[in-house]
Amino acid sequence: MEKRRLGKSNLYVSTLGLGCMSLGTDEKKATEIVHKALEFGVNYFDTADLYDYGVNEKIVGQALQPVRDKVIIATKAGNRWEDGQTGWVWDASKSYIKEAAKKSLKRLGTDYIDLFQLHGGTMEDRIEEVIEAFEELKDEGYIRYYGISSIRPTVIQEYAKRSNIVSVMMQYSILDRRPEEEVNPLLQHRGIHIVARGVLAKGLLSDALLSKASNAVKENGYLHYSYNELKEILSTLKKKLARDRTMTAVSLQYVLANPVVASCVTGASSIEQLKENVAAVQSQPLTSEELQFIKDLTKSDGYTQHRIHP
């Protein structure tokens, strides 16, 4: 599987990353999926302390222990479980980030985290303090590199300007092209890469298409699209571009055609689903004409909140 350099780091990540949140808590089944991903050439595994109250990190760390030096483990911090685990609160304090990193290391059963990410971020955070926490963790050898997971352009801009982040995990898909206008040029200029999530738009851009639509989507549409618009666009995409390939392939290849994208992180709750995603990233890239067709068909509306102002 193709590997791309992540920002200015020396991490080379597989174009398909395994989003571990969907693995569940059945250790045997989850481990089988992780091991099958390794067989397919996936080397990038994304988890977080929030997933299943930290159980996800334990399962992923255990499954990857035999090949620890050959894989890239990414995890996140910033969402703090309340007592009783009934909910979580945002905590971007330096002390909590450093504490969270050490707890993640213990659960993962490793001495270092390859990519440690802030699991969100707001302009109200003490950003310099957050950066200090990451830099200290790096100097102390607990983490190799750090990034953020955010869809707020203003927050992304601040970290891009003031820190040494190598990546931004953000939602990006054919149906969510918001990053293209505002965020991508900034990241490209700074040598920072995107780790794309939500590439299949909650299944709408998979081969299941609208059969995956929730009641909320049927009533309110998806982002800038009404349900009727979705029906028309998805039908056209399938008819024009998915005759000799899957819709999943079209969707992943669109995102991977963007030079700012290092990896598409997708979940897999079964080996069959994993196989489909692997086949999609290894399929023929879209031509320039096909890419333009998608852009002409879909909306490039920017963000409505947290905009970067000149």
Give the CATH number for residue 96.
3.20.20.100
CB 166 within 8 A of CB 149: no
* pLDDT in the model for residue 272: 95
Residue 177 lies in a domain: yes
Give the active site residues.
Answer: 51
Radius of gyration of the chain (CA): 19
Burial (CB < 10 A; 0-12, 13-18, 19+), residue 288, is exposed
Residue 186 lies in a domain: yes
The ranges of the chain with pLDDT < 70 are: 81-86, 303-310
* pLDDT in the model for residue 87: 74
* pLDDT in the model for residue 129: 96
* pLDDT in the model for residue 85: 63
Measured over the CA atoms of residue 188, residue 150, residue 99 and residue 19, the dihedral's sign is: negative
Residue 23 lies in a domain: yes
What's the domain count of the chain?
A: 1
Residue 309 lies in a domain: no
The C-alpha atoms of residue 281 and residue 83 are separated, in whole angstroms, by 41
- Residues 6 or more apart whose CB falls under 8 angstroms from that of 240 comprise 293
CB 135 within 8 A of CB 164: yes
The C-alpha atoms of residue 270 and residue 235 are separated, in whole angstroms, by 27
CB 174 within 8 A of CB 206: no
Residue 305 lies in a domain: no
Residue range 61-94, pLDDT digits in tens: 999 999 999 999 999 998 776 666 667 777 889 9
The single-letter DSSP state of residue 21 is: G
Residue 208 lies in a domain: yes
* pLDDT in the model for residue 305: 61
- Copy the structure tokens of residue 45: 């595994």
Residue 310 lies in a domain: no
* pLDDT in the model for residue 123: 86
**Owning domain of residue 218:** 3-297
* pLDDT in the model for residue 122: 86
* pLDDT in the model for residue 264: 98
